[in-house]
Chain A
């Protein structure tokens, strides 16, 4: 039962208000892409024990999607930010690095 703050409406939302949407920052490969590219887009997901970027929707609240960076092991939430963000914000990356010096960083 996580608590995540929706960056759209500002509500600190209980997990029952939210829907999980899997890994964030996937690049969509459409018609014309190679088999390998498409396979990785469609099927390959990271299964991080540690820092992870996720899609969430405030389904039973404002209805908006947002993104969250959290540690899947300790459940620490590093931050949430709008879904309309192609890559994790730099200041968030820096903050995570500071807390997790061993983290290899965001991999596209």
Chain B
């Protein structure tokens, strides 16, 4: 069993006991523990179930590469799934739950899948659930979905807060092991601004565990001394619990700091996302140990040798009383020696190499530990816990020589430098055959804006596995980075480390070398996703030669550890199966973040009302106080309708429309875009921008205009008013003002830069209030100050003056077909003007109306709406707007495109009105019309679609507009619109102007 040792544990404080809950049980750990070490100390080896077969799984590692120990952490609004026990610091009151186990961790029904192993090979889902087709939806998928999934999503909104932090630095050092410390120290001495981040709470990396000696003393003293020096330097910032998550273009680095995860009672943000611009980056990210591929290497109790050593040294935790060591290198002997010295039993060190005579093996031998060279593990025995191993010769096929009882196995397949951050932004790798690892190629670094390298790798991450050369390399990396950032490295002596010399590793990708299929099917590569050696070999046999394809087919490396543990093992197997060299197979792409970071940190403070700013018109507050039902329009909120007491939305809209048609309505049109285009060439410019002629517009007049893209498609519309000879005011749609202003600037700056034209977006400088209806003029006359008579201010004209003492520009324009004035007043007086309109209009029955009434009234008049009648594929000709397209102009945006053969095709669908045979039926928006024929594919031939559809209170029946093939030539014909419920609505093709076709109401 695993337990807490009587002594030892360099980073735990035995004086501070901490209580926590796991799987409903109350357990105790010490301050300094991770959840993983505390669980081990309480003999909790079985921590979860694998994704596919629900096999029992325990801890494998002690850090970020852990694939199995994922737990649900916290409760309620602070619950978070898939948290790694190895990177979760223990705190008082921590509550954790196992996941992917049902009904319980000990007895999991999904584990029946395990019996089906031979039926669940790679690509199983792709191959099996194809037929019958209906079975997928009704049988396979519901069952699979119930069993699948890793962890449960939180149900409540996150109770914590998060923040972003922006900073610049000369040299950023990622990793606070001895290499990172040395690099930061050297860079700091040059005077450069240095930011050092370390993902865990503690500095020093593996040096303490490995017993490294630095400058004649132990590693711990040097680490503390160096940290002290760094903290005293003004130009150096040192941050722990801060993960260097990703390296991006031009020295942009994301780091993820866990501020209060270990002290949840503390105030302030939980996580901080650092957004860093670094001139130079140094990655001192160390290396990760690889498992060995032998049968049963996933049984709880089989762990990485380095992790076993970590738990013993750092946390004073023994993973078992009898620990068999399996290795192909010298480093694992350190684990054997550590365990032996802690008073535990190492029955045998199984070394795949023909001989082991290095310093470390000799030390082990001297301690009396049995070393079997040339041997391998044939199979691990045990279900929920290791009970023993059977040994065989490495060169053979697995004939059992001997069985050794044990309760844990410490394995080491060698170490892989953490090259992720080097690779994120394009750094290239070389395969080092001698050390059996990919390491950064210093000649091909990721490059910055100046084309030079922006990243240096330091120490172990650079492939220097022994402390002495790692430290020397790291100091040099720090100096190089400072130099490349424009600083002069300081003189001085670099620290020197001493560690035992290590004999070369023997690459072992399969144990034993000739393991047959039966063993391969029990030999796991990706523990979380249950990818076995046999799966990768199957993929290779089935033709998946690219490592990227094999990854997706087998899901190797697609689990939440992202292949940290065993991608190298997997691609070595693939290379072997393909009879290719490892570097030819290559690695899959390393993508940021290096470890999962919280969604909260990514969002930062951009939540709820801060997620996106809301634009508010000057009248917004009135609507808020008077029953508005809001609707988002672009970034604005506009009132859909303004309900009176006891009224529902439908009735409110109806009332607003009828009152506007009969008396007078009031609309807040402030959101309309208002762009000033000014200069001697303004007319010439607008002639190019609009399809119709704007240069001939006389001052004082208004003209409706259309804008198209170079593709010829309608993009915006609105009324243009010529304020004076040089000045035009272009109204745009509410959602289009910023886009159209940017569009104008694009053309002025990049194509017609010789034009003498300025633009200004004055949308928010003016409130615009529409007074609409037969009694509109009476309301304005009561406000007083301007002549608004038919003679002085006829339709499509505007005048400037004052109304109710407020400076105003009154436009005689109408989007409802009624007598209508749109009054622009300074935004600061918008609300005052609105209130005066309501006051003056009271005796005429004035009532505000919202966007829905606006939409219905415009549809009754057959006016198009950008975004309803248009969708980015519609040209003005489709909407019968040829009258608004100048034939005199040599050029305008979209003109050439509208001459393309597809645009002039007579079969294009064109705008018509649609009246349902049953006036009560309202056609569904977007419904398609069919002609009764069927294409060879079995799909009904469509001949049109509905673009706008409403119930018209004015006409007391439904109305619709739509685009129909040959529509205008088919007036009076009845066409079919099948609904999603299987019914068919019949509608007659009519003219789209349903109300007042002569325009008598607006011309009064």
Chain A residues close to B by CB (< 8 Å): 1-3, 14-15, 21, 28-33, 35, 38, 42, 55, 57, 59, 63-65, 71, 74-77, 83-84, 99
Q: Is B347 in the interface zone, CB < 8 Å from A? A: no
Q: With A and B bound together, what is the CA distance between A42 and B897 in angstroms?
A: 9
Question: What 10 pairs between A and B have smallest CB-CB spacing?
Answer: A76-B451, A1-B252, A3-B250, A65-B749, A84-B753, A83-B750, A30-B891, A77-B449, A74-B447, A31-B895
Q: Taking A75-B250, A83-B753 as contacts, is the C-beta distance between A21 and B746 under 8 angstroms? A: yes
A54 CB to closest chain B CB (Å) equals 12
Interface residues in B884-932 (C-beta closer than 8 Å to A):
890-891, 895-897, 899-900
Q: Which residue of B lies closest to A16 (CB)?
A: B275
Residues of A within 8 A of B710 (CB): 42
A-B residue pairs in contact (CB < 8 Å), sample of 21: A1-B248, A1-B250, A2-B250, A3-B251, A3-B449, A28-B751, A30-B896, A31-B891, A31-B895, A32-B896, A35-B900, A38-B896, A38-B900, A42-B711, A65-B749, A74-B426, A75-B425, A75-B447, A76-B448, A83-B749, A99-B451
B48 CB to closest chain A CB (Å) equals 36
Residues of B within 8 A of A99 (CB): 451
Q: With A and B bound together, what is the CA distance between A59 and B745 in angstroms?
A: 11
Residues of A within 8 A of B750 (CB): 21, 55, 65, 83-84
A20 CB to closest chain B CB (Å) equals 12
Q: With A and B bound together, what is the CA distance between A94 and B251 in angstroms?
A: 27
Residues of B within 8 A of A15 (CB): 249
* Prevailing SS type, chain A contact patch: loop
A70 CB to closest chain B CB (Å) equals 8
Having A21-B746, A31-B899, one finds 16 other A-B pairs with CB under 8 Å, namely A1-B249, A1-B250, A3-B249, A3-B251, A3-B277, A31-B891, A32-B890, A38-B896, A38-B900, A65-B749, A74-B451, A75-B447, A75-B448, A83-B749, A83-B750, A84-B750
Q: With A and B bound together, what is the CA distance between A55 and B900 in angstroms?
A: 27
Q: Which residue of A lies closest to B454 (CB)?
A: A75
Residues of B within 8 A of A75 (CB): 249-250, 425-426, 447-449
Residues of B within 8 A of A14 (CB): 252, 277
Residues of A within 8 A of B753 (CB): 83-84
Residues of A within 8 A of B251 (CB): 3
Q: With A and B bound together, what is the CA distance between A28 and B890 in angstroms?
A: 14
Residues of A within 8 A of B248 (CB): 1
Chain B residues close to A by CB (< 8 Å): 248-252, 277, 425-426, 447-451, 710-711, 742, 745-746, 749-751, 753, 890-891, 895-897, 899-900
The answer on a CB contact under 8 Å between B896 and A63 is no
Q: Which residue of B lies closest to A5 (CB)?
A: B449
Residues of A within 8 A of B250 (CB): 1-3, 75
The answer on a CB contact under 8 Å between B749 and A29 is no
B94 CB to closest chain A CB (Å) equals 36
Q: Which residue of B lies closest to A65 (CB)?
A: B749
The answer on a CB contact under 8 Å between B749 and A33 is no
Residues of B within 8 A of A32 (CB): 890, 896
Residues of B within 8 A of A2 (CB): 249-250, 449
Residues of B within 8 A of A42 (CB): 710-711, 897
Q: With A and B bound together, what is the CA distance between A3 and B890 in angstroms?
A: 41
The answer on a CB contact under 8 Å between A31 and B890 is yes
Q: Which residue of B lies closest to A63 (CB)?
A: B745
A51 CB to closest chain B CB (Å) equals 12
Residues of B within 8 A of A31 (CB): 890-891, 895-896, 899
Residues of B within 8 A of A21 (CB): 746, 750
Q: With A and B bound together, what is the CA distance between A21 and B710 in angstroms?
A: 15
8 Å CB contact of B895 from A30, A35, A76, A84? A30
B111 CB to closest chain A CB (Å) equals 46
Residues of A within 8 A of B891 (CB): 30-31
Q: With A and B bound together, what is the CA distance between A53 and B76 in angstroms?
A: 52
The answer on a CB contact under 8 Å between A76 and B252 is no
Q: With A and B bound together, what is the CA distance between A14 and B749 in angstroms?
A: 21
A56 CB to closest chain B CB (Å) equals 11
User: Taking each of A28, A29, A33, A38, which has the highest tally of chain B beta carbons within 10 Å of its own beta carbon?
Assistant: A28
Residues of B within 8 A of A29 (CB): 896
Q: With A and B bound together, what is the CA distance between A46 and B311 in angstroms?
A: 56
Residues of A within 8 A of B447 (CB): 74-76
Q: With A and B bound together, what is the CA distance between A57 and B890 in angstroms?
A: 29
Q: With A and B bound together, what is the CA distance between A33 and B750 in angstroms?
A: 20
Q: With A and B bound together, what is the CA distance between A1 and B890 in angstroms?
A: 42
B235 CB to closest chain A CB (Å) equals 21
Q: Which residue of A lies closest to B738 (CB)?
A: A59
Q: With A and B bound together, what is the CA distance between A21 and B248 in angstroms?
A: 21
Q: Which residue of A lies closest to B166 (CB)?
A: A14
Q: With A and B bound together, what is the CA distance between A29 and B425 in angstroms?
A: 38
Residues of B within 8 A of A38 (CB): 896-897, 900
Q: With A and B bound together, what is the CA distance between A57 and B749 in angstroms?
A: 10
Residues of A within 8 A of B749 (CB): 64-65, 83-84
Q: Which residue of A lies closest to B741 (CB)?
A: A63
Q: With A and B bound together, what is the CA distance between A55 and B249 in angstroms?
A: 18
Residues of B within 8 A of A33 (CB): 896
Q: With A and B bound together, what is the CA distance between A38 and B897 in angstroms?
A: 8
Residues of B within 8 A of A55 (CB): 750
B97 CB to closest chain A CB (Å) equals 38
